[in-house]
Chain A
Amino acid sequence: MNRRRYLTLAGAGVVGALAGCGGSSGSDGASGGQSLDDHPAAVNLEAQPRQGDLGGNVVLAFEDPSCTQCRRFHENTVPDIRSNIVDAGEGAYVVRTYPIIYPWGKPATQALEATFARSEGAFWALFDHYFAEQGQFDEGNVLDRTEQFLSNSTDLDGSAVVADARNRAHNEAVQADIAAAENADLPQQTPIVLLFRDGQFATRANGSVSYDLIANALGLG
């Protein structure tokens, strides 16, 4: 093999690898600048669990209670979103459930929607509880533990919520969130955070991104 042949071979490998990088981008730039009202991920947003007022900046997060990256997002980023955006009147934090990681995320999501139908406060308590105790849950115990938590820590009747979850009584709401993610061409991963600056789509962040990233993206940095 001469020098030229070697160069060609090596070059082909490097170029092939780099071409693969480019192909993996998957940007959904088509959504750039779209208004909150028109964005497919934000359909029926007023009916979703929300902290803060719509109309300004919006942090719309697709999360799975069983996802470890979502847990880290909750530990590292959500407290700052709540204090610096929601409490400061700069915008809203909205959650849509997207149960795609571990199997127990699906019944947990049914329970979250059944809870939300009764009490938004209890929804946030249960949502935080799933992340705080994430390692304790599996497909076999998640609804029993949910019933215990709701009965002991909220005003709700945990058994009624869990009965609804088992019967998938609020499956329409669960499927609506999944459909919103699919219609927005979101990748099959969580968390996915869509950022709207003054009602206009700014960008989509994948993974447990930091508050500093979100603040700068929304012009709050």
Chain B
Amino acid sequence: MAAVSRSLRGVRLPTRRRDWRLMGRTARLVLTLPTYAAVAVLASALSLTAFVVSLNVPIVLDLVLGGSLPLGSRLTILGELFPFLGTNFTAVQGLLLIAVAVLTGVDIAMATYHFREHGLDLQQGGAGAAGVVLGTLGAGCAACGSAVLVGLLSLLGVTGGLLFLPLEGLEFALGAVVVLTLSIYWLADGMRGGEINGCPVDI
């Protein structure tokens, strides 16, 4: 616990231009590996699907998974739940949701890479290791964090009240972008000094 507290005190934020370049380079290097590129694509697709399905679970249970509609109708109904295919989201909402899904995919691919290839040792890793833990937890939360939030808020009966927010609930998607960006930075920071696919991570 003390080690975690020490590590948390040293957690950094991406405040410099080189931090952003580090994030970009690390993500790019990880995604050049076909396995991790596939992980990223799969995680992105799953997170977006989890979110849109969570908003319309009855349709999916009644008509896509259950019921007696032909396969074509089931696929059409499922597709219509997604941004830009259906009409449930504005263009801005759709872009934000896709951005969150893409960042989630990159984040999960990086966390998977870091753990599988480098392992983790808090004594050696310091802030980077804490960042990886936070980053991994962040990736798990962000995969369906907004869905959880919508569920919790509807349990409290305040879903309609979300529309009182200036951006009518988009604040949560923007929050997810911030969390994911931090998570990716912490993961990249944790990989600093190492190599990915034979290339040095440090810029």
Listed in ascending order, the chain A residues whose CB lies under 8 Å from chain B are 1, 3, 6-7, 9-10, 13-18, 20-21, 23-29, 32, 67-68, 72-73, 76-77, 100-102, 187-190, 202-210, 212-213, 216-217, 219, 221
**Could you list 6 examples of A-B contacts with CB < 8 Å?**
A14-B137, A76-B87, A101-B163, A188-B154, A213-B77, A219-B73
Chain A residues contacting B148 (CB-CB under 8 Å) are 17, 20-21, 23-24
On whether A72 and B87 interact (CB within 8 A), knowing A209-B80, A217-B59, the answer reads yes
| Interface status of B42 (Cβ within 8 A of chain A) | no
Q: How many angstroms between the C-alpha atoms of A99 and B120 in the bound complex? A: 53
- Complex CA–CA separation, A29 to B188 (angstroms): 44
Known A-B contacts A23-B151, A208-B88, A209-B88; the reply to A17 vs B144 at CB < 8 A is yes
For the complex formed, measure the closest distance between the CB of B116 and the CB atoms of chain A, giving whole angstroms. Answer: 10
- The distance in angstroms between the C-alpha atoms of A130 and B166, with both chains bound, is 21
From A21, A68, A210, A217, name the one whose CB has the most chain B CB atoms within 10 angstroms.
A21
Please tell me the size bucket of the interface on B.
35 or more
Q: Does B152 contact A (CB under 8 A)?
A: yes
Q: Is the CB of A21 within 8 A of B80?
A: no
Let me know if A27 and B160 touch, CB within 8 A.
no
Query: Complex formed: what's the CA distance from A102 to B163 in Å?
Result: 8
Q: Flag if B137 contacts A10 (CB, 8 Å).
A: yes
Give the CA-CA distance A204 to B61 in the complex, in Å: 10
**Minimal beta-carbon separation of B134 from chain A (angstroms):** 9
Contacting residues, chain B, for A221 (C-beta < 8 A): 72-73, 76
Residues of B within 8 A of A219 (CB): 69, 73
* Interface stretch (choices B16-24, B25-33, B50-58): B50-58
